[in-house]
Amino acid sequence: MVFAFARTVYFSVGHCLSPVENDGATGHIQRSALGGLRVDSQRGILEEVFSNFLKGSSVFRSREALRHDYVPESLPHREDHIRYLGEILAPALKGSLCSNTLIYGKTGTGKTAVMKFVLKRLAQKAQDLGSNVRVCFVNCRLAGTEYRVLSNLCAAIDMGIPFTGLAVGEVFDRFRDGLDSSNTLFLAALDEIDAIVKGRGDMLLYELTRINGNLRRSRVAILGVSNDLRFKEMLDPRVLSTLSEEEIVFRPYNADELQDILEERSTVAFQSGVLTEGATKLCAALAAAEHGDARRALDLLRVAGELAERVGDTQVSEDHVQLAQKRIEHDRILETLVSLPTHAKAVLLTVYLLAKFSISRSMTGDIYNLYSELCGEMGLAPLTQRRVGGLISELDIMGLLNSRVISLGRYGRTKRTSLGVPYKLVREGLGDDQRFRALMNHRPRYLAPSR
């Protein structure tokens, strides 16, 4: 620790040799000189990297066109969805309340892009007509808590809310009162709405779906977007009946559709003649074979272009796509692990610990007992065993766990669960959270032999 600290201080103050002068030791002076040479060498490496990039010919015209949050001027193969959502929201232009809508489908099927595309043009049209329509788009996974979701909704009606310090109920009351005084038709678009429900329950949705009963001059319509096809099963029937007045389901893209999307985006993203046809086809085929995920296809194409650019190649080929696939696979698993809800991380850590300590007890009951022990260590209230079983199934579908049902003969059947990803990735993915990092070497107490 002392050595690491000394390096940090040395780097911060440049070539300050006061510690050496105070000591007077020749050995320390020599090490400081070597440290200076090392710093100069590292700076030279970066200078070379930056110079090569600036001098080289870029394969990109606008790499932002391949990012997830980029909304293009057109969305191929989603015309029917755009029309349907536009028809649902059109009454807002005349000041009439439109139906609450639930949109769901797998990741990368165009849900968020279509939502942003329609809302942007609806807001522009409302402004042209002088209609008092406000639109707020909130990513619930990024917001993380009910408080921050409500804070975003308040900001959309120009109401400031402290970053912390208020009860959620108080923030909701302020939002309702401020909205009613603004005489507004308010469209609340909640992307990845399942993230809030899984982590916090559906009370926020319950309040929002019933807010119109307490408003006199304003109205609220809710647009929920979920990646979880079983999202509706998590909702209280009273919430579900109000939220899903209209439903739109997005199916995955096939290979031909993905290729059309990539070709359209590539005209914006790449310089002319840089992208080979084989690279586009391979990106589309790889993404279609997995989940029909447009984000996956766009990521492959972007990373392939970046790899070609780094080595100075003037064309993006199939070889670059193959290399990009290997690079993304590692990063994608890490991103998934980091973004898991707290209890899902606790279940994954439970299976990791059972495997780490060579405990051949991986049935759901064993997992639940150790999960409850870990929750106690972290100060969390454990979920029910039924809900934990559901989380195991979800992690299995995501490929993070492998669960299989085995027969115990006359004792019935049970489910055995093991890790579906390498130990190293679990440590990297969960290690960002201090609570889980502290438990990486936790030895299960409930399985210890009794004395």
Superfamily name with CATH number, domain 79-250: P-loop containing nucleotide triphosphate hydrolases (3.40.50.300)
**CATH of segment(s) 340-437:** 1.10.10.10
Domain 254-334: which topology?
Helicase, Ruva Protein; domain 3 (1.10.8)
Q: What is the pLDDT of residue 409?
A: 66
* 41, 215, 414 from 16: Cα distances, Å: 18, 66, 65
Q: What is the pLDDT of residue 34?
A: 56
Domain ranges of the chain: 2-55, 79-250, 254-334, 340-437
Which tokens in the block code for residue 36?
A: 């200076």
Measured from the Cβ of residue 251, the count of other Cβ atoms closer than 10 Å reads 11
Asked whether the domain spanning 254-334 has the same topology as the one spanning 79-250, the reply is no
d(CA 32, CA 144): 46
For residue range 359-386, list pLDDT tens digits in order: 665 677 888 989 999 999 998 899 998 8
Asked if 137 contacts 115 with a C-beta cutoff of 8 angstroms, the reply is yes
Asked if 10 contacts 32 with a C-beta cutoff of 8 angstroms, the reply is yes
DSSP 411: G
The full DSSP string for 160-227 is ---SSSS-HHHHHHHHHHHHHHHT-EEEEEEETHHHHHHHH-SHHHHHHHTGGGG-SS-EEEEEEEES
For the residues 153-173, what does the mean pLDDT come to? 91
Mean pLDDT of the chain: 84
Measured from the Cβ of residue 384, the count of other Cβ atoms closer than 10 Å reads 9
d(CA 205, CA 444): 38
Of the two residues 408 and 193, the one the predictor is more confident about is: 193
